[in-house]
Structures are given as C-alpha cells and as structure tokens.
Structure 1
Amino acid sequence: MSEQSPRQEFSGLRMGKPFGIPVYVSWTWFVVAVFITLMFGPRFQQMLPELDSVASYVVAFAFAVLLYVSVLLHELAHSVLAKWYGLPVRRITLYLLGGVSEIEKEPPTPGKEFMVAAAGPALSLGLAGLGLLGDVYVINSGGIPEVLIWQLWVANFIVGVFNLLPGLPLDGGRMLRAGVWKVAGNSGTGTIVAAWGGRVLAVLLVAVPLATSLSGGQELDFTDLVWPLVLAWFIWAGASQSLRVAKIRARIPQLNARALARRAVPVTAETPLSEALRQAVEKRAGAIVVVDHDGRPLAIVNEAAVQATPEHRRPWVNVASLAKSLEPTMVLDADLTGEPLIEAMREAPGSEYLLVERGGGVYGVLATADVNRVFTGV
C-alpha cells in the first residue's frame, strides 16, 4: 500500500539509499515481522515436515523479510518513476501495513499521476508472475525454495490486486483520481471522488465478511474481522486525510503575497525595541525591518522574540538582537501567488519573509502565521 505523502518528521532505521532515495524501516515493521513469523511458522512446518519447529520459524522469518523486500520494490517502482518525471522523493518508509513513498510534489498531469500510481501494482503483479513461472518451470522439486517462492508469488499477487482497488490511499485510488482529473479537468475533484471511493471500500471490507457470515447462518467469529477492521481503519483514515488535503489545496489559489503582507516600518539596528514598536503603531505597520543607513534591508525582527521580551526591558533592547538576518531565500517577489508562493516558502522554512517589488523596493513582510490562517480559517 502506498500513497503520496506530505512532508513529515520521522525517526526509524535507515536501510540504505537505492537510486538516491533514502529507505527507512519503522519500528512497527518488526511487530509485523514477529506476527508473520508466529503465524506462518506452523504452516511451514506442515508444508515441510522434515523441518523441526525452530527451523520452520526461521523460514517464516525469512518469508517476512522477503515479503518486505517485495514491498520495497513496489515502493521503488513508484519513487523511481516519480524521480524520472522530475518529482522530488524525500524517502521511502516501510511500516506496519506496507510502505509509503514520500513524494513531495503532485504530478503535473493526470497521465503522470496515473503512471506513477500504476507502477507499484504493476511491479507487484510482475513479481507474482515471475514467481509463478519459477514455481512451475524452474524450482519445482519441493523443499524450502519452492515453498518460499510459492508463498511470495501469492503474496505479491494479493498486494498487487488489493492496491488496484479504486479508493484512496491505495494506488487504485490514485489511478481513479487521475481518471477523474482527466475528465473533470480538476485534480481536487479527482481527489474528492477517489477519497470517497476509499471510504466506501473501508465500509465494504467490514460489511461484506460480516454479511456473508450472518447470511450463511454461521456463528460470528470476531477474530475473523480483525484484519478487515485494521485494513478498513487504515483506508478510512487515509481517505479522510486526502479529503482534508483536498480542502486545503482548494484554498491555495486564494494565496496572494501582496494581500497577506504586513506593512513594514524600517529602523536601523541600534533602534530600541520600544521606539521601533512606537513607530510601527504610528504607521499602522505589522512588521519591523532592520535597514542600514542607506535604507537597504538587512534583517527582519522576529515577532515571537518581540512578544517574549518583557515590556519593561524593551527600551534597553535594540532591534538587531531580535532580528534574523535576511538570506537570499527569505526575500520573495511580492507578486507571488498560489502554488509558486507555497513552493518558495517550502524551500526556505521561516516565520517571516521580506516581500520586494521587481525593482528591489521593499513592499512589506509576509508572516507564515498569516499564510497558515488562510488554511485554518482562523
């Protein structure tokens, strides 16, 4: 299972960097590895009676590792194709229910979205096909290799087919999103349709086995619903997150650097904070910019640092001690809007940015908090 993921913090075991993409393993993988080992150990002992109990569990653990290698290859298919299309991939993470490719940009066209999404299931089904051929024509004399290959091709077939189901956050949901995007001409509409498809899938995953059990007159065994419930929760949560992201992205076109900018009052570095604040109030400015004696901007006074300075100390603190020097990436074009504005801020995360006119003149200061309010509605 994989999806486009937003930037997020993560701590886990780094396994390597194939194709220049960092690969991490979450601690939750080890929980699943233990579960698979315990579940498949007795099965392998039945299939391979020559093995003792310890050896059967060793084979089961090998199966768990090989299964996650297959998941890694599935995610690499997404990520390598995304990189080939010029989309930055931050990392791949293997975790409780599979893997996630953290692709930091949305594909620019529905066609590329479809291809990136389809790459993972295509690889899983390809591995299943190769495993089946190997099981039938190459390694068919029994023993541990044949049993492992048989289990792996079946597992990859299930992973490939399951991921093709048409609902986010599954790959099939992204493919559905691409199709709706192509027809409707709007990626947000595609996301909403595919996310609701995911919610429907989540309900069906629980409702179908429940209805089957009840209609057959069988006594309901809730242990049979454990995995459907886990998968349904995962899909429902991912679909709901996609709906939230769609609502946020719908507001991106409303972003306008000029409209969100605060008027800035220029002061020199030695100006006391109290005097700078007095000038800001007098000129109805919402930001303070430190300039040199020729009026060139040098730094932006940090709003949080100002608020943290007690009022009785403000006459004795100069603005330079509370200012952050202007890096080139912190100076933005005042005409930026929408996605280009978000990208510019993402490249240089900060609390304030200096907005300048094309001729170099200072227009004002853009506070990240003001941009966030566009999305939170605060």
Structure 2
Amino acid sequence: MADHRPRPPQRQLPPGVVRLGSIAGSDVLVTPSWFLIAALIVVIMSPVIESVQPGLGALKYVAGFVFAVMLYGAVLIHEAAHAVVATRLGYPVGPITIHFLGGATQVEEESRRPRDEFLIAVVGPLTSLLIAGVGALLWWAGPDGLLLFAVQFLAGANLFVGVLNLVPGLPLDGGRVMRAAVWGATKSMHRGTLVAGWIGRGAAVCVMAWPFVAQAITGRTASLYNVMWGFLLGMFLWSGATASMSHSRIQQRLPQLVARNLARRTLTVPADLPLAEAVRRAQEDHAGAIVTVTSSGTPIGLVNEAALLATPPERRPWMPTSAVARTLTDGLSLPATIHGEDLIRAIGAMPSPEYLLLEEDGSIFGVLATADVDAAFQQGGR
C-alpha cells in the first residue's frame, strides 16, 4: 500500500534493515521482520512440499524459502506499481519497504487531486490480480508436481492480496480508492479520509472477530494460529486507519498556522548591550523577543528565552546580551509569510526555540517561538 507520510532526511539504515537495490528510482528495503516471517513460511510449507514432492529431504526447506521469496516478490511488484504511477504523476517517492505484513511505498507528498489518489492506489491491487491471472493461465497450461503447487500458490496468494487490498478501508489500497471517491464527491479529502478510516476500523474488528465467528458457524474450535494472525492483522488495520485519520486532522489544522499571525513583538539591541538593560528595554517596549544586531542593524542573534530565564537577575548587568543569544544560521531566518505545512517542514528541518521572521525586503518583522506554534496548533484542534 502507498504511504503518504513525509520522508525524513537521508540517514543510515536502522540495524538489520537490508537494501536490495532500487526500482523506479526507489530504494528497496527489507526489515528484519521479513526474515522472521520467511522462516515461519519455511516451517509451515516444508511438510506440505514434502507431501507434494516426496523425497526432497533437506531441499524441502530450500523450496519453502523459495516460496517465501515468490510471495514477497509479488508484494514487491505490487509496491513497485505504486511507485511507478506516483512518479509518472509527478510525486516524489521514497523507499519501498518490505516487512512481515507485506510492504509499503513511501510517497512523499499528499495527492493533489482525487484522480491521482485513485490511480496511485488502485494500480497495486490490479497488479496483484494480474499476477494471479498469469498464475491461473500457467495452471491451465498443465504443470504437475511441485511446479503445479508453486503456480497454485502464486495465483492464490496474489488473488488474496489483490482482493484484500480492495477492501474499501484505510490503510489498505481500497481505502484510498474510497477516500478518492468521497473526496471527488464532496470536494473534501478530510471527509474522504474519515469515511475510509472508519471503514478500516470496522474491517479490523471483523478480522479479529472472524476466527470466533467461524467457530460459531462450523462448530470447530478456533486455532491459536488463526486467532493470533487475526489479532495481528486486525491491529495492523486498526492502527493504520487511526493513524490516517489523525494525520488528516493534523492537515486540517495546518492552514491556521500563519507565522505572521504568531510573531512576537521584537526589540533589537547591540550584541554587547548588558543583558539587564536589554530586558528593561524589552519590558518597556512590551516586546516578547530580543534580537541582537550589528552597528549597521544586521541581525546576528536570537535571545533564547529559556537561557534568559535561567540567568539570575544579579548577573544580568554584567553579561552581554549575546551571552544568551543563539547565532543566526541558515534555517533560523524564515519569511514572515510562511505558513501551514511549509512552516512545519521548516521547523522540522532546523529545530530551534525561536526563529527570526523577515519581510521580503529583508527587514525584521518579529520572532516566532516554537512554543507559540505548538500552542496555536493545539488550540486549533479543540
């Protein structure tokens, strides 16, 4: 399934994660959890393989591993289809990650149109169903023995993946198709996310309850294996749907975050001015922030509020204001017009308690405190 969360900056891979290469410009990563599920598939499949092709001995375990690779190779093709379509539509795509419950393609921007959302989402399940169709044709061609079983396994697994991903609930691809449909009908992506999210939560409950429902219908006791997988898959669906809904609510609040509206009144002082005098002037001017400047008026530092408050008043007359100021570097000066997601990205790229806001002509507009952004965001969510 495609994942729209913003991609973090490039960094070293986490321990155990293996990079296999790249597809359509996207790195293919395999998490340690895949090796666990591959081992489980080997354990489950080896006696079945032995019954289909007796006399393999230890090779049945090799064959079981090949089946695991086949299954997740099909998952990789499914995810690569998402990546190719997203790239063709002009969206930057991050890595494709294979994990024990399947895979995820990291699309780095939200869809701009319902049509794009639909195309990126639907191509994955359609690819899985196409592979299932190819498997069915090969089955019809008449292989036998272990080869026939491999074809049946490939066709059945991809049919399951394709149909499952068409369930119209997030975080499945079908949920994104549903979101696109509701978005197109109501002109609200947020509403589409909530509808698909609640369907996803409902699907999660059904998956967790199914082993017990089947027990009531058939009279056969639900196995621990089925209960465990029902719980894991259900929790995956529930947490994914909930995360998508939470992210959508955050996106709804972002337009309310306008740097200009959150700026503090700012006092400019020489860097060598005694801190006590700078504080006195700020209080007199009702300023909420202090910026140090050169003799020509060029800003060079931002007074850190926490450092200022931690400085005892009796020491302030003997300290230059620059002693509690952070030197202005790239990323600490932002345009006063910045807002919404651009503002959040700028803060995330260069974490700091304060930022200097500048007008288009380079003049100082004010200081933006991260605490004020957080408070405004929380207030907007109430």
TM-score by length of 2: 0.88
CA gap 1:294/1:197 in 2 versus in 1, 3 angstroms: same
Mean alpha-carbon deviation: is it higher for 233-242 or for 93-102?
93-102
Aligned counterparts of 1:188 and 1:215: Cα–Cα separation in 2: 39
Q: How does 1:1-378 map onto structure 2 within 5 Å?
A: 1-7=1-7, 11=14, 12-52=17-57, 54-137=58-141, 140-303=142-305, 306=308, 315-316=318-319, 318-319=321-322, 322-327=325-330, 329-345=331-347, 350-377=352-379
User: Is the Cα contact below 8 Å between 1:300 and 1:352 reproduced in 2?
Assistant: yes
CA gap 1:26/1:283 in 2 versus in 1, 3 angstroms: farther
User: Is the Cα contact below 8 Å between 1:179 and 1:190 reproduced in 2?
Assistant: yes
Q: How many percent of aligned residue pairs carry the same amino acid?
A: 42
SS of residue paired to 1:49: coil
CA gap 1:355/1:322 in 2 versus in 1, 3 angstroms: closer
Per-residue displacement from partner, 1:58-101 (whole Å, max 9, x unpaired)?
A: 11111112222222222221122222222222322212211122
Per-residue displacement from partner, 1:178-224 (whole Å, max 9, x unpaired)?
A: 11011111110011101000011011113344223213333444443
Shift of 1:131: 2.5
SS of residue paired to 1:86: coil
The residue identity in structure 2 corresponding to 1:253 is P
Aligned counterparts of 2:371 and 2:93: Cα–Cα separation in 1: 27
User: Is the Cα contact below 8 Å between 2:354 and 2:368 reproduced in 1?
Assistant: yes
Aligned counterparts of 1:180 and 1:141: Cα–Cα separation in 2: 45
Shift of 1:46: 1.2
Shift of 1:43: 1.1
User: Is the Cα contact below 8 Å between 1:276 and 1:319 reproduced in 2?
Assistant: no
Shift of 1:23: 2.3
Aligned counterparts of 2:160 and 2:312: Cα–Cα separation in 1: 62
Shift of 1:22: 2.2
SS of residue paired to 2:169: coil
Root-mean-square deviation (Å): 2.7
Shift of 1:363: 0.8
The residue identity in structure 1 corresponding to 2:112 is P
SS of residue paired to 1:22: strand
SS of residue paired to 2:24: helix
CA gap 1:374/1:38 in 2 versus in 1, 3 angstroms: farther
The residue identity in structure 2 corresponding to 1:20 is G
Aligned counterparts of 2:328 and 2:263: Cα–Cα separation in 1: 19
User: Is the Cα contact below 8 Å between 1:302 and 1:324 reproduced in 2?
Assistant: no
Aligned counterparts of 1:79 and 1:313: Cα–Cα separation in 2: 59
User: Is the Cα contact below 8 Å between 1:267 and 1:290 reproduced in 2?
Assistant: yes
SS of residue paired to 1:259: helix
Shift of 1:113: 0.6
The residue identity in structure 2 corresponding to 1:5 is R
Shift of 1:245: 1.4
CA gap 1:316/1:344 in 2 versus in 1, 3 angstroms: closer
The residue identity in structure 2 corresponding to 1:39 is I
CA gap 1:214/1:144 in 2 versus in 1, 3 angstroms: closer
Aligned counterparts of 1:312 and 1:22: Cα–Cα separation in 2: 57
User: Is the Cα contact below 8 Å between 2:208 and 2:233 reproduced in 1?
Assistant: no
TM-score by length of 1: 0.88
CA gap 1:207/1:264 in 2 versus in 1, 3 angstroms: same
Aligned counterparts of 1:310 and 1:7: Cα–Cα separation in 2: 42
**Where in structure 1 are there 5+ consecutive unaligned residues?**
none
Per-residue displacement from partner, 1:238-262 (whole Å, max 9, x unpaired)?
A: 1111221122122112111112112
Per-residue displacement from partner, 1:11-46 (whole Å, max 9, x unpaired)?
A: 222222332222222111111111111111111111
